[in-house]
Amino acid sequence: MGYGIKLKVWGDYACFSRPEMKVERVSYDVITPSAARGILEAVYWKPAIRWVIDEIRVIKPIKFDNIKRNELSGVIPSNTVKRAYLGNKEVNLYQSTKDIVQRGAMVLKDVCYYITAHFELTSSVGETDTVEKHYNIALRRAKKGQCFHRPYLGCREFSAQFELVDEDYEESFYENSEKDLGYMLWDIDFKNKSLPIFFRPTMKDGVISIPDLQRGDIL
């Protein structure tokens, strides 16, 4: 296991969309491992390292809220993007209100998580890449609140605040309890035709232990 890091992440709203809901978004009860990894990659990412989520601690009670969101009614075809990239001025992209629809969403409200993770060196490591080097850079960026782009909680409009955790955890609302969270998205296997991988986590005393498929853990 590589060097570890702990982040406190919080925000007013979050939406970690369930893939089985086809039209209107419905969030999972808690943050997914892939979303947690995305937050760490927003703070510090290099091809030479791979972030691995070890544990997620849920601090505040799980609360849902129903809101309305403006979304596009479809996706832009890849051929349209290619024509625009090649300089075709007659390409029509989504620019008018007729391409926007209003949909409902069941989102999480007032969330706070503690993310425990570590990173491992990848096959893209260079001669000057060491664990200590990347660990110190990641710590420095997290302490200063630096990020490549603003981390978000599932959807980009739900921005996340974060800070490095040096002391003990805050007490979870779910201390002395156990909750089956059902099947949840673990991550996307981009090396295998973007295959989605699911697992069934259990939250014990507010803590969710995350397996690592690439390390051989059993989901």
Judge whether 87 lies within some domain: no
Judge whether 92 lies within some domain: no
Judge whether 11 lies within some domain: yes
Mean pLDDT value across the chain: 88
Q: Dump pLDDT digits (tens) for 58-78.
A: 999 999 999 988 877 777 778
Judge whether 168 lies within some domain: yes
Mean pLDDT of 187-195: 83
Judge whether 54 lies within some domain: yes
pLDDT of residue 186: 92
For residue 44, which of 125, 133, 106, 127 has the smallest C-alpha distance?
Answer: 133
Residue 218 has pLDDT above 90, yes or no: no
Mean pLDDT of 127-134: 90
Mean pLDDT of 144-171: 91
pLDDT of residue 96: 61
Q: Is 75 exposed, middle or buried (0-12, 13-18, 19+ CB in 10 A)?
A: exposed
Question: To which residue do tokens 């089956």 refer?
Answer: 180
Return the C-alpha torsion angle 8, 6, 31, 55, nearest 10: -140
Domain with 54 in it: 4-67+107-215
pLDDT of residue 138: 94
Output the CA–CA distances (angstroms, integers) from residue 38 to 45, 101, 139, 152, 219, in the order listed: 9, 27, 17, 8, 20
Confidence of residue 102 (pLDDT cuts 50, 70, 90): confident
Considering only 31-40, 43-52, 166-175, 198-207, which range has the smallest mean pLDDT?
166-175
Please tell me the number of Cα atoms within 13 Å of 24 on its side-chain side.
Answer: 10
pLDDT of residue 63: 97
Q: Which residue has the higher pLDDT, 53 or 191?
A: 53
> For the whole model, what pTM was predicted?
0.85
pLDDT of residue 1: 45
Q: How many domains does the chain have?
A: 1
Judge whether 23 lies within some domain: yes
**Do residues 46 and 149 touch, judged by C-beta distance below 8 A?**
no
Structure tokens at 125: 């490591």
Residue 131, Cβ neighbours under 10 Å: how many? 16
Judge whether 80 lies within some domain: no
pLDDT of residue 76: 73
For residue 178, give the CATH number of its domain.
3.30.70.2660
Sign of the CA dihedral running 28, 32, 34, 40: positive
Judge whether 61 lies within some domain: yes
